[in-house]
Structures are given as C-alpha cells and as structure tokens.
C-alpha cells in the first residue's frame, strides 16, 4: 500500500526535538527575520516563522521595514545583525520590492548566519561537500526521504527543476547520499521516460499536477515540492495542488508527499533546525 508521507507530523516532531534541545541551553538561539514592504503572503509567512521560533524557545527578532527602504539602509541593518551576538540566524524575506537588489542583500549576510542557505558561500560549500548551511525546503525533502530510506546508495534520483532555491540544492544533497542524480528542466527531452527511471522523484517545477501517474515508476518515492493555487470545485474558491497529479500518482508510488501537508510544513521546521545549527557553531558548542 502506498505510504502518504505526513510532513505536518514530521515537522511537529522535528520542532519538538529542537525545543527539547533549546530548553537545555543557557543562552538561547536568536533568529532575525527582515521583511521589507507589505506583501500579504510574506507577512503571513513571517508571522508564522516568528510564532514557531518562540514556540521552540528561541528568540525572534522581527524587523519590518517600509517598502521605500533603500539598498544601503537594508544592507546596514544586515551588517548590524551580522555583528549582533544575540542573533544567530538572519533571514531576509523574499521577494524584495523591485528597486532592491536581492542578490546583493543576500551576499551581505554572514554565511555563518545564513539560515536560508542562499549565500554563494553556502551554495559553494554544499557543492564542495563542506560544512555549511543548506536551504530549508531541500533540507526538508532530504529529512523526509531519510526517514523512509535510511540508505539511498545507488538509487536513481530524478529532480525536476534546477532553481538555486530548490532543484540544485536537492540534487547536490541526493548526490551526497550516493544517489545517481539526474536534474531535469524545461529543455529536458522525454521527461516522462526519464521520470520512469526514478526510484526517487522530486518535483520542484511550479506547474500544477504536471507529473502524471504513468510517469512514476511503480514503488518510487515521490516528493512533491510544488505549491500551486488553482481554481477549486466551487465557483470563486481556490485550492492548493502540487506539481504531481496526486490522485493518479499515489496508487503507483511506494510513498508520496501530499500537497498541502507534505514538504510545505518542513520548511519552517528546517529553518529552526538551521538556526540551532548556526547557534551551536557560533557559540562553539558541539553538534
Ligand atoms: P522556479 O520557477 O525557480 O524553477 C522551476 C524549475 O522548473 C526551473 O528549473 C524550470 O526549468 C523547471 N521547469 C519549468 N517548466 C518545466 C517543464 N515543463 N518541464 C520540466 N521542467 C520545467 O521554481 P522554484 O524552484 O522556486 O519552486 C518550484 C515549486 O516549488 C513552486 O511550485 C514553488 O511554489 C514551490 N516551492 C515550495 C516551497 C515549500 O516550502 N514547499 C519552497 C519553495 C518553492 P528552466 O530552468 O529550464 O526554466
């Protein structure tokens, strides 16, 4: 029978483990989140992050800046956070207003506090197999996979998507797990045929229900990163779907993440995990 991977429960368990470890610390890890402007989705996301940070016993520093904040003002704040010994993780919520250069802002974050794993230094460390901080959603995918398949050695993994945020880091992490990894993208030929070779199939595309049931190898583990809002059954209502046609793929797969409730809940839990990791390194505590 197909296993439906419960990311919500896994994330709750991860937060509990983190909270238990934080409870035993004399000094508490601090996570600073910077939000520029009034993007409604970002505001909800930042509020969720702040709530969950406090719930695991960490300190949340919220910096809400007006939409007209300048590049130098934002970089000056990042520099202050870099120097602040109470702050162990810094996250600048994306997207930034159009007049700001996100790449430059991210580059200003100290790699040791880059809990989103987005700096070029941390991306390079991941490729080089060095200790660093990895992006949260890919980390969530790998933790879910590890829970199902402790030893991934020799398995064929296909990752659909090559973004810096998801596809590339997931592929690197699967490579570290000794998978044979193929990264597919919009120019890939015979994507269905390629997907059918995958023991592990990760879809990070941003196209609603693109991956069909017949693309899935029987028994494969399917990780659906996609979050797509589409029209619901009732007029005027919307619903969330993944990049995988869940109803068609689930009977074929050995295990599959649903949307919502699969990879999504893992992202913030992994942000907290990264903050704890950064804290331990900055405070010279052993992992
Ligand atoms: P991007 O748009 O940055 O990347 C999408 C990738 O999919 C690109 O590499 C693109 O290829 C590839 N692609 C697009 N169309 C096709 C196609 N027809 N066939 C094969 N490949 C294709 O998206 P992200 O990586 O940022 O996000 C992917 C999905 O994951 C989105 O639905 C997003 O909402 C979701 N997401 C979920 C998160 C979570 O917390 N669960 C966090 C982050 C993202 P090319 O490079 O050739 O253009």
Find the 165 Cα to ligand 1 centroid distance in Å.
9
Mean predicted confidence (pLDDT) in 118-142: 98
Whether 104 is catalytic is no
Q: What is the pLDDT of residue 60?
A: 98
Q: Are strands 221-224 and 156-160 parallel, antiparallel or unpaired?
A: unpaired
pLDDT above 70 covers what percent of the chain? 99
Mean predicted confidence (pLDDT) in 104-119: 98
Whether 116 is catalytic is yes
What strands lie across the sheet with 89-92, from one edge to the other?
59-65, 30-36, 89-92
Q: What is the pLDDT of residue 165?
A: 96
- Chain-centre distance of CA 79, in angstroms? 24
- Beta strands (DSSP E) in the chain are 3-4, 30-36, 59-65, 89-92, 156-160, 180-184, 200-203, 221-224, 228-231, 238-241, 255-256
For 90, the token pair is 């810094």
Q: Which of 93, 114, 217, 245 is catalytic?
A: 93
Residue 107 has pLDDT above 70, yes or no: yes
Residues of the chain with CATH 3.40.50.10860: 27-110
Mean predicted confidence (pLDDT) in 275-279: 98
C-alpha span between 79 and 87 (Å, rounded)? 11
Give the model confidence (pLDDT) of 54-70 as tens digits: 999 999 999 999 999 99
Picking from 212, 199, 121, the residue whose alpha carbon sits closest to that of residue 159 is: 199
Q: What is the pLDDT of residue 39?
A: 94
Mean predicted confidence (pLDDT) in 45-59: 97
Find the 285 Cα to ligand 1 centroid distance in Å.
37
Find the 259 Cα to ligand 1 centroid distance in Å.
15
Whole-number mean pLDDT of the chain? 97
- CB of 250 closer than 6 A to ligand 1? no
Residue 190 has pLDDT above 80, yes or no: yes
Has domain 27-110 been given CATH number 3.40.50.10860? yes
Residues of the chain with CATH 3.40.50.720: 136-264
- CB of 261 closer than 6 A to ligand 1? no
- Of 159, 166, 258, 265, the residue with max ligand 1 atoms within 8 A of its CB, to mutate for a pocket test, comes to 166
Q: What is the pLDDT of residue 236?
A: 92
Q: What is the pLDDT of residue 234?
A: 92
3-state secondary structure at position 179: coil
User: Considering the domain 136-264 in this protein, what is its CATH number?
Assistant: 3.40.50.720
Band (1; pLDDT cuts 50, 70, 90): confident
- CB of 167 closer than 6 A to ligand 1? yes
For 146, the token pair is 């590890």
For residue 267, the cross-strand partners are none
- CB of 263 closer than 6 A to ligand 1? yes
Q: Contact 242/207 with Cβ under 8 angstroms?
A: no
Residue 287 has pLDDT above 70, yes or no: no
């Amino acid at each position: 029978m197909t296993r439906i991977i419960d990311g919500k429960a896994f994330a709750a368990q991860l937060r509990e483990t983190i909270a238990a470890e934080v409870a035993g610390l004399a000094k508490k890890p601090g996570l600073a989140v910077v939000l520029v402007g009034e993007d409604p989705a970002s505001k909800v996301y930042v509020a969720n992050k702040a709530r969950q940070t406090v719930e695991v016993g960490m300190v949340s520093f919220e910096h809400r800046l007006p939409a007209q904040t300048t590049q130098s003002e934002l970089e000056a704040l990042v520099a202050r956070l870099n120097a602040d010994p109470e702050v162990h993780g810094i996250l600048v919520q994306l997207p930034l207003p159009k007049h700001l250069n996100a790449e430059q802002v991210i580059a200003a974050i100290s790699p040791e506090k880059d809990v989103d794993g987005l700096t070029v230094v941390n991306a390079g460390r991941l490729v080089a197999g060095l200790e660093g901080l990895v992006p949260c959603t890919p980390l969530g995918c790998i933790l879910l996979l590890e829970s199902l398949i402790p030893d991934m050695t020799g398995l064929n993994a296909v990752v659909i998507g090559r973004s810096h945020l998801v596809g590339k880091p997931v592929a690197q992490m699967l490579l570290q797990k000794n998978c044979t990894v193929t990264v597919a993208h919009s120019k890939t030929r015979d994507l269905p045929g390629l997907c059918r070779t995958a023991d592990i199939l990760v879809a990070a595309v941003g196209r609603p229900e693109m991956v069909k049931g017949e693309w899935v190898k029987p028994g494969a583990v399917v990780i659906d990163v996609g979050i797509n809002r589409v029209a619901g059954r009732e007029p005027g209502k919307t619903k969330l779907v993944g990049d995988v046609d869940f109803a068609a793929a689930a009977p074929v797969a050995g295990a599959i993440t649903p949307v919502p409730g699969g990879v999504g809940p893992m992202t913030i839990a992994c942000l907290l995990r990264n903050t704890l990791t950064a804290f331990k390194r900055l405070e010279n505590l052993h992992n």
